Amino acid sequence: MTRPLTAEDLYAIQTANDVQISPDGLRVAYVVTAMDRAAYEYRRHIWLAGTEGTGARQFTSGPNDTAPRWSPDGHWIAFLRAPAGEVKPKNAEERARGVAKAQVWVLPADGGEARQLTFLREGAGTPVWSPDGTTILFAAEVGDPDDPESADAALDGKRVPAVRTIDRLWNRVDGHGWHYERRSHLFTIPAAGGEPRQLTDGDWDDVTPAWSPDGRQIAFSSDRSDLRWRAPAGDVWVLDVSSLTPRRLTDESLHCGMPTWSPDGKSIAFVGSARRRPAGHVDLWVIATDGKSSARRLTADFVPTCGDTCIDDLRAGHGPAHLYWSTDGGRIYFLASYRGTTQIFTANPTGGEPSAVTSGDHHVYAFAMDDARQTVALAISDPLTPGDLYVQPVDEPARARRLTDVNADLFREVALAQPTAITFAGADGWQLQGWVLRPAGAAADQVTPAILQIHGGPTAMYGWSFFFEFQLLAARGYTVVYSNPRGSTGYGRDFSAAVLDDWAGKDYEDLLAGLDAAIARGGIDPDRVGVAGGSYGGYMTAWAIGHTDRFKAAVAMRLVANLATMFGTSDIGWQLTDDYFSERTPWDHLPALMDRSPAKFVANIHTPLLILHSDNDLRCPISEAEQIFTALKYQGRDVRLLRFEGQSHDLSRSGHPRSRVIRLRAIVDWFERYMSAQSGPADADTSKPTLITARTGR
């Protein structure tokens, strides 16, 4: 007998991430992430499993071990080790050695003692082995503190408020914090140990390095243009290791990432989108390393977007494209997102339509290939699987073998719901895709309340992935309706670009059309429908209840309330204006921005609204939530704000464990207060407080 899923079950969820297959294709290293409920902290360990299905075992014992990378001979694994939770150096020596930061370690692949390689003040990035296995390459941040006196005082336990001197637009980023005084540059260190060598320097960031096959050059991404502080977008560069002379290959018109060398060293594949107004669509490109020709786009007529843009609530951010060349240089393997799935595709570097390597209703969020390019290891999620590992022969998806089942114990106890895909006509008759998630075991004629969920982005997509929040709502008796309106990725560049200069226009019509299509199928009480969404989805939630009273309750998370204030307060506010609203600045186009801002329509909001927002959200600042809360409370409307202390924009996916569970409980409780799935609409309890602060810290 199974039981319904609860919010507290989030503590038991584990995910398998960052899959890396050994050069000989016989073993897979991966990271298992779990929550330590007693400590309210995440634990990350590296595990090993045989590709023939032999038992998985925990390989490292550190509290926070990530980014395993095999040496070329398969005898060693380099990885990053960081402390768990928040650790502060106790003295200047500890600070200089980076005790609170992630550092590169190495460990024999057959077991033994791990050895720390780097001791950098700001830590080190993902390790990259040289082709001969003697050297490890990585990116690391460098730079002196803006206010050294304040930084030094903290070592003595004193609180001396810092004074920041900021002179550029690109000065902070959500989840990372202030970075204006630091730059990312490239380093190498002997794999046997020694002092790191800094390879690059300057007032720019150098990231995602990759060795050439002969080990004499390094490709990387860097924006050294005059536009880097207004509209940052990396170019592909090549560095000669002996002379440290860099060469730029691309022409500053693209935002490039993941440069990957061909086996003969004559070409580099990379993913890239337009520097300005990219609309979230990413292509696969190839460029000759001699610098004598321009980059060639291999996916001009390809509907999917390169990379993983499928949203769930168990992984922060989205996965890169994971580029791999075949041994003969005749194919390039990469991830791409298409109609609610993320799959592996392969493209010919000389041109032609890419073809799929995997298929099915699932979300491949990472993959890796052995040296012979005969075996591929995949990390896959689907609506019933938070994330597990599989292996398959490259050209035989029917022979895929599952290696892990990290949530087997939990899912023997709980009942999960399976979504049904629907197609419907949106604005202008466009054929759109959505899903209906009915409660597990619900009879076909059972009528339930429903929640319309709206994804963020807008350049992202819902799909065939596990979504804990949706499963929780279904477990409480709600039907969850979700879809990909125009502006979503995975349906072609024109589809994702259709939302440019038209937020809350036809995309809003698409969302309501998807809801109406779900209701028309039957089994939904049209008088008990709620709406919820985060980020752009929070924006659309606030917009919807300012333009219709059909929703009985709403939950807006990390919302955008005012496009004019976002310009100057968000870490990417001016880019949002440049890319989505044709550079309509608040001082020249205030009426136009306000016409598309939910804050303008607060007088029309009568739907009970719960706002969930993090006070350290740099993407959608807390002031966005406060504008809506204050305006509604001033009018005496039914509104409540949960303010999560110390959390970022990614609260729902990577925030403090307790905060994430409180958030889930709050969502369910709010909807049950106004549209109970068990007994019909509930009376509002006006005795409850209207402002709650979740003091969790990290």
Residues classed as catalytic? 535, 649
CB 558 within 8 A of CB 455: no
Q: Which two tokens stand for residue 277?
A: 């107004």
Three-state DSSP state, 262: coil
The DSSP H or E segment spanning 115 is strand 115-116
Which has the closest alpha carbon to 237: 216, 210, 214? 210
3-state secondary structure 477-523: CCEEEEECCCCCCCCCHHHHHCCCCCCCCHHHHHHHHHHHHHHHCCC
Q: What is the Cα–Cα distance from 22 to 29, expressed in whole angstroms? A: 8
Residues 6+ apart with CB under 8 A from 9: 410, 414
CB 217 within 8 A of CB 291: no
CB 281 within 8 A of CB 290: no
Place of tokens 């321009």: 294
Q: What is the Cα–Cα distance from 270 to 265, expressed in whole angstroms? A: 14
The DSSP H or E segment spanning 673 is helix 657-675
What residue type is assigned to position 99 of the chain?
A: V
Which has the closest alpha carbon to 472: 417, 424, 434? 417
Q: What is the Cα–Cα distance from 483 to 454, expressed in whole angstroms? A: 7
Q: Which two tokens stand for residue 295?
A: 């980059």
Beta bridge pairs of residue 454: 533
CB 641 within 8 A of CB 611: yes
Three-state DSSP state, 474: helix
Q: How many CA atoms lie within 13 A of 259 on its CB side?
A: 33
Taking every pair of C-alpha atoms in the chain, what is the biggest distance, in angstroms?
74
Which has the closest alpha carbon to 686: 642, 629, 644, 636? 636
Place of tokens 């955008």: 560
CB 544 within 8 A of CB 554: yes
Torsion 533-491-344-219 (CA) sign: negative
Place of tokens 């969302």: 511
Q: Which two tokens stand for residue 291?
A: 């610098």
